[in-house]
Amino acid sequence: MKKLMLIACVIAGGMMSCSKQESAMPEGAVGYVIDKSENIELTKKSMQALSDGDSATYRATYSEDAVFYDNADTITLDQNVAMFANMKAKGITMKLDKIGEITETIYNKPGYFDADHFVYAYAWFTMTRGDKSVKVIIHSVDGIKDGKQVVEWLRYDTKKISEIMQ
Percent of all residues in the chain with a pLDDT value above 70, rounded to a whole number: 86
pLDDT computed for residue 116 by the predictor: 94
Q: How confident is the model over 9-20, as a mean pLDDT?
A: 48
Q: Where are the beta strands (DSSP E) in the chain?
A: 31-34, 62-70, 73-76, 92-107, 117-129, 132-145, 148-155
Report whether 62 contacts 77 (CB < 8 A): yes
**Quick one: pLDDT at residue 20?**
46
Angle at 106 between CA 64 and CA 37, to 5 degrees: 75
Q: Report whether pLDDT(161) > 70.
A: yes
Q: Is 27 helix (H, G, I), strand (E, B) or coil?
A: coil
Q: What is the C-alpha to C-alpha distance for residues 133 and 145, in angstroms, rounded to an integer?
A: 35
pLDDT digits (tens, 9 = 90+) for 86-113: 888 999 999 999 999 999 999 999 988 9
**74 touches 80 (CB < 8 A):** no
State how far the Cα of 163 lies from the Cα of 90, in Å rounded to an integer. Answer: 13
List the one residue out of 46, 67, 62 whose CA is nearest residue 152.
67
| pLDDT for the residue 21 | 45
* pLDDT band at residue 4 using 50, 70 and 90 as cut-offs: very low
pLDDT at 8: 46
- The whole-number average pLDDT for the span 44-62 is 96
The Cα angle at residue 52 between residues 48 and 58, in degrees rounded to 5: 60
Average pLDDT for residues 14-33, to the nearest whole number?
Answer: 69
Which pTM does this prediction carry? 0.82
Q: Are 134 and 161 in contact (CB under 8 A)?
A: yes
Per the model's pLDDT, the better-predicted residue between 1 and 46 turns out to be 46
Q: Give the bridge partners for 146, in sequence order.
A: none
pLDDT in tens, 69-79: 999 899 999 99
